[in-house]
Structure formats: C-alpha cells, structure tokens
Amino acid sequence: MLRRAVAEALGTAFLLAAAGGSGIMGNRLAGGNIERSLPPWQTSLAHHRRAGSAQVFSEFIATAGLLSVIWDVRACARPLFLSPSELITGAYWFTASTSFANPVVTLARAASDTFAGIRPADVPWFVLAQFAGAMAATLLFRWLVPTRSHVS
C-alpha cells in the first residue's frame, strides 16, 4: 500500500508541475522573444548561460521524471512510444533547465548558439544532474516494482 501511495503521489506531482508550470514558462519565454533567421550551420558554440542550483536541480528532476516514465511503462508492459515524449514536452515547459534530460542532447545544444543552447562551461553540471536523476529513478523503481525491475 505504501508503494502505491508513493507512486500515486509522484505521478500527481509530475502532472501538476507539467500542467501548471507550462503556462508559467510559456509566458516567460514569449515575453521579449525576438525572431531572427539563422544559418543552417553554425560555427560558434552556445553562449546561453545555464548555471545555478535551480538549473541543475530542475535537470535532475526532468531526467528522473523521464526515466520514471520509462520504468513505469516497462513495468506495466504498456507501449512506450508516447509516454516519454509527453513527459519531455511538459518538462520542457516546467523546468528551469528546459529539460535536456540526456547527455547527448546536452552536448548537441552546446554546439547551438540559439535560445536552446547551453554554454560549454555549464555542460558538466547538467550531465552530473542527468546521471543522478537516472540513478534516482532506477533506485525508486527497483523499490516500487521489485519483481519487474530487472526484466529486459
């Protein structure tokens, strides 16, 4: 019963954060957004500063949320094609980091000098937060669903 209550509380928390936070982040992103024509190939690294504890913590949350969705889908033997994308869409809007949630994506965004970029100096903190979030989700689901956690 405790595991079910914890799972329900976590699912509700992620849902509320995604639904409520998306409007807030959308408002912030739209204010002062200037459209400009970018070349298809860029020669400079990103300059967008993404530093501080809020950025790193939100990246931890986004990654833990993504891996939690994946673990949950696998444990319940549901199709995986839509759930992760729904979480990432919501996490993009509700996290301060805009939810990179993947070390490869983080590196790619460091090579993009746009509003979605991340300056190379901030990359290591994001990658550490992503690994910590992945470990937290894995440990949580090994506890929540012990009989299905090791199924491949």
DSSP string, 6-22: HHHHHHHHHHHHHHHHH
3-state helix, strand, coil in the chain (%, to 5): 65, 0, 35
Structure tokens at 100: 């990179």
Rg from Cα positions in the chain: 17
pLDDT, tens digit, for every residue of 78-92? 666 557 767 777 777
Which stretch of DSSP H or E encloses residue 60? helix 53-76
- pTM to 2 decimals? 0.68
Show the low-confidence residues of the chain (pLDDT under 70): 11-12, 14-43, 78-82, 85, 93, 115, 148-152
